[in-house]
């Protein structure tokens, strides 16, 4: 019970690694408030959590809308009395597009959800964490902040900026007992990469490429990401702030 009596917010927790992390947090004793645009995924998460007696609630939330994110964090405080940690996880991929063919609309959509959504999560969690006497923020960046294969300019830009934002917050709030870290997942087996495969001309070749750039030779799982987020969200990582924790099966070591 590494999160006994803690209160957590997870954005983008209706699917993928956010869902795995929300369920892990709850299994470890936390009350978890999940925000996501996917109402159906949210309902199935609530049903799955209820079956195991886990304390997970859901609020329809678009992280690119500031009022939605403010409401999500207010719900955690209203329902559970405080906020201890937020996992700013919601994000979308950029379909592979040559950098000179990216429309302003596509660029803005990826930045709005990935970067602005993470900013809103930090901005509105910080006062709640200060009222709590401290807490933790974990932002979902990506190895794309450091290593790319091309065709994903807006995504890589959003994830690089999340690293910079994470460091600024870590420095600014360290003296007030708030730690802010990021994770940098490699290729993880979630809906995002299933969609990337569907869009590929040769899905089998794409999967083979992912394996070949990953020394451990496979995709990571949502549960493996959850364990890393749990570490950064709790006192197990009490002397860690301002880092990006790379969880990539060895990819950026190559
Ligand atoms: N899958 C990977 O290989 C990989 C690697 C590195 C980083 N990431 C990052 O991990 C995070 C989670 O991605 P995933 O792989 O689990 O993908 P996913 O598509 O399986 O899950 C993303 C979740 O975010 C939700 N979401 C999308 N837009 C939203 C919005 N505007 N507001 C609220 N929720 C929204 C989706 O409904 C979904 O439930 C993303 O930030 C992604 O960039 C993924």
Break the chain into its structural domains and give their ranges.
Answer: 7-185+220-245, 192-219
Residue whose CA lies nearest to ligand 1 atom number 19: 192
Rg (CA), the chain: 17
The closest-lying atom of ligand 1 relative to the alpha carbon of residue 90 is 24
Mean pLDDT of the chain: 98
Residue-wise DSSP of 31-57: EEEEEES-HHHHHHHHHHHHHTT--EE
Residue-level pLDDT at 173: 99
Could you give the angle at which helices 117-131 and 153-173 cross, rounded to 10 degrees? 20
- Residue 86 pLDDT level (bands cut at 50, 70, 90): very high
Question: Which tokens is 36 given?
Answer: 């996501």
- CA dihedral for 148, 150, 155, 160, sign (positive or negative): positive
Q: What are phi and psi of 200, to 5 degrees?
A: -75, 145
**How many alpha carbons fall within 13 Å on the CB side of residue 45?**
31
Question: Which tokens is 172 given?
Answer: 């600014």
Residue-level pLDDT at 245: 98
Residue-level pLDDT at 222: 98
Residue-level pLDDT at 131: 98
List pocket residues of ligand 1, CB cut-off 6 Å: 11-12, 14-18, 36-38, 41, 61-64, 89-92, 113, 117, 140, 142, 185, 187-188, 190-193
Residue-level pLDDT at 35: 99
CATH superfamily to which 7-185+220-245 belongs: NAD(P)-binding Rossmann-like Domain (3.40.50.720)
Cα 94 to middle of ligand 1, angstroms: 11
Active-site entry in 155, 159, 173, 182: 155
Residue whose CA lies nearest to ligand 1 atom number 16: 16
Pocket test for ligand 1, best of 190, 222, 247, 251 (most atoms within 8 A of CB): 190
Residue 104 to residue 113: CA distance in whole angstroms: 14
Is 155 an annotated catalytic residue?
yes
Is this prediction's pTM over 0.75? yes
Query: Over the stretch 87-115, which tens digit does the pLDDT of each residue have?
Result: 999 999 999 999 999 999 999 999 999 99
Cα 187 to middle of ligand 1, angstroms: 12
Q: Whose structure tokens read 């496979």? A: 218
Cα 90 to middle of ligand 1, angstroms: 5
Could you give the angle at which helices 117-131 and 66-80 cross, rounded to 10 degrees? 30
- Residue 59 pLDDT level (bands cut at 50, 70, 90): very high
Instruction: Let me know: does 89 contact 10? Beta carbons within 8 Å.
Output: yes
Cα 192 to middle of ligand 1, angstroms: 7
- Residue 147 pLDDT level (bands cut at 50, 70, 90): very high
Residue-wise DSSP of 3-27: TTT-EEEEETTTSHHHHHHHHHHHH
Mean pLDDT for 171-199 is 97
Beta bridge partners of 86: 9, 137
């Amino acid at each position: 019970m590494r999160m006994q009596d803690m209160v957590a917010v997870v954005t983008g927790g209706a699917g993928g690694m956010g869902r795995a992390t929300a369920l892990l947090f709850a299994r470890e004793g936390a009350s978890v408030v999940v925000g996501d645009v996917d109402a159906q995924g949210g309902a199935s998460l609530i049903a799955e959590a209820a079956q195991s007696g886990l304390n997970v609630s859901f609020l329809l939330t678009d992280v690119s809308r500031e009022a939605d994110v403010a409401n999500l964090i207010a719900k955690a405080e209203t329902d559970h009395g405080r906020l201890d940690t937020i996992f700013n996880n919601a994000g979308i991929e950029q379909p592979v597009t040559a950098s000179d063919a990216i429309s302003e609309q596509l660029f803005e959509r990826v930045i709005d959800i990935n970067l602005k959504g993470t900013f809103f999560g930090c901005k509105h969690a910080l006062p709640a964490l200060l009222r709590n006497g401290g807490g933790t923020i974990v932002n979902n960046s990506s190895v794309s902040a450091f290593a790319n294969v091309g065709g994903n300019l807006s995504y890589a830009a959003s994830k690089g900026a999340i690293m910079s934002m994470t460091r600024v917050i870590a420095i600014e709030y360290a003296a007030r007992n708030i730690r802010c870290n990021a994770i940098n997942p490699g290729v993880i087996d979630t809906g995002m990469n299933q969609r990337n495969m569907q869009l590929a001309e040769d899905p089998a070749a794409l999967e083979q490429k992912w394996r070949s750039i990953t020394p451990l030779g496979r995709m990571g799982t949502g549960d493996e990401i959850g364990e890393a987020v749990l570490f950064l969200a709790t006192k197990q990582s009490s002397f860690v702030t301002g880092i990006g924790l790379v969880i990539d099966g060895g990819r950026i070591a190559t």
